[in-house]
Amino acid sequence: QDIGVSMALFDDNFLTVLRNGLDAKGKELGVGLQIEDAQNDVAKQLDQINNFIASGVSAIIVNPVDTSATQAMSDAAAAANIPLVYVNREPVNVDTMPDNQAFVASNELDSGTLQTKEVCRLFKDAGKTEANIYVIMGELSNQAAVMRTKDIHDVIAGPDCGVKVNILDEQTSNWSRDLAQNLMTNWLSTGAAFDGVIANNDESAIGAIQAMKASGVDMATVVVAGIDATQDALAAMQAGDLDVTVFQDAAGQGAGALDAAIKLSKGEAVEQKVYIPFQLVTPANIGDFLAKN
């Protein structure tokens, strides 16, 4: 029994953990997994699915590059009558999927919201009524980056925040630590005062932290938030540099997706939608997450 897996991206911290979860579960159950790297290319991903179909796999797991591109994938798999499971990102056609397709994912709306609300809370606790922040976005062509940035705007514009937060500037680091470092240094060179940095991912947050430390900024006075809860981020949090991050159970999602795929290939019924929630990570509960990602 062979199962084909198409991952959106290999060299992504979070997706690697998910992939490792899949792999471990596969070894445990003794199923052969063939994992392909779509390198963030929707078209390549669709081709990979067609290649799996040509090889006659018994089920396909897809970590979609683009959740709005899933219709064509569902169609291809349905035509060949091969079960399909989406993992980590919710497909657009979730309501019209055929019976032998399912998804296991988190709701991307939650991550940015959790993160920004916690930042608001920290500002409030520090007794501020108004705060200036910088926002570091991920790659602009990526949906997660767009969603998370939108969440930030929604929360600070909404009633839940309680503090008046001004965004001084909003730029992209393409998810990368290095560009985030340069970006932060450029911001520091303008001399404007700020109270926090919200980044779309942990790598960018760490880059900002490194730049601030190099310029002698007191890390206790700024709030820095990321998303992913990577090991580097947790270490930064332990060191008191990073204040907020968000954890999502990558390994759990991977294992869950494989379970569903195997059941579908045997013709068993599964629950079509499985949501796995995001969890907020702060210095208070960091201990629960150290061994997870």
Partner 1 sequence: MSQTTHGLGGLKYDPTKKARAPEWNVFFALVGIIIVFELIGRLFMGDSFLFNTRDNVDTLFNQARLQIIILQVSIVGIIAIGVTQVIITGGIDLSSGSIVGATAMIAMSFAQVAMVNGNPNPKAIFGDLGWMDLPVIVPVLVGLSCGVVAGLINGSLVAYTKIPPFIATLGMMVTARGIAKWWSKGNPISFPTDSYALIGKGMTPVFLFVVLAVLFHCIMTYTKYGKHCYAIGSNEAATRMSGINVDRHKVLVYVIASGLAAFAAIVLSSKNLTAQAGMGVMYELDAIAMAVIGGVSLQGGRGSILGTVLGALIFGVIISGFTFLKLDAYYQEMVKGVIIVGAVVLDQWRQQSRSRGK
By CB under 8 A, what part of segment 158-187 binds partner 1? 169-172, 176-178, 181-183, 185-187
Site map 236..275 versus partner 1, x via CB under 8 A: --xx------------------------------------
Instruction: Examine residue 60 and tell whether it contacts partner 1 (CB under 8 A).
Output: no
Minimum Å distance from CB 162 to partner 1?
Answer: 27
Which is nearest to 134 in space by CA: 26, 223, 241?
A: 223
> How far apart, in whole angstroms, are the C-alpha atoms of residue 203 and residue 206?
5
CA distances from 27 to 10, 23, 178 (A): 19, 6, 36
Q: CB of 45 within 8 A of CB of 54? A: no
Contact range with partner 1 by CB under 8 A, out of 7-15, 111-119, 155-163, 242-250 = 7-15
Instruction: Examine residue 42 and tell whether it contacts partner 1 (CB under 8 A).
Output: yes
Q: Among residues 120 and 188, whose Cβ is nearest to partner 1?
A: 188
Query: Which residues are bridge partners to 35 per DSSP?
Result: 5
Instruction: Examine residue 232 and tell whether it contacts partner 1 (CB under 8 A).
Output: yes
**Which residues are CB-neighbours of 235 under 8 A, at least 6 positions away?**
none
* Positions of E strands within the chain: 2-7, 32-37, 59-62, 84-88, 101-105, 130-137, 164-172, 196-199, 223-225, 245-248, 273-275, 278-281
Indicate the burial class of 47 (C-beta count within 10 angstroms; 0-12, 13-18, 19 or more).
middle
Instruction: Examine residue 143 and tell whether it contacts partner 1 (CB under 8 A).
Output: yes
Contact range with partner 1 by CB under 8 A, out of 122-130, 137-145, 217-225, 248-256 = 137-145
Of residues 16 through 35, those in contact with partner 1 by CB under 8 A are 16, 19-20, 32, 34-35
Site map 83..112 versus partner 1, x via CB under 8 A: ---------x--xx----------------
* Positions of E strands within 75-200: 84-88, 101-105, 130-137, 164-172, 196-199
Which one of 3, 188, 227, 244 is in contact with partner 1 (CB under 8 A)?
188
Which one of 63, 116, 142, 201 is in contact with partner 1 (CB under 8 A)?
142
Q: Among residues 120 and 241, whose Cβ is nearest to partner 1?
A: 241
The distance of Cα 48 from the centroid of its chain, to the nearest Å, equals 22
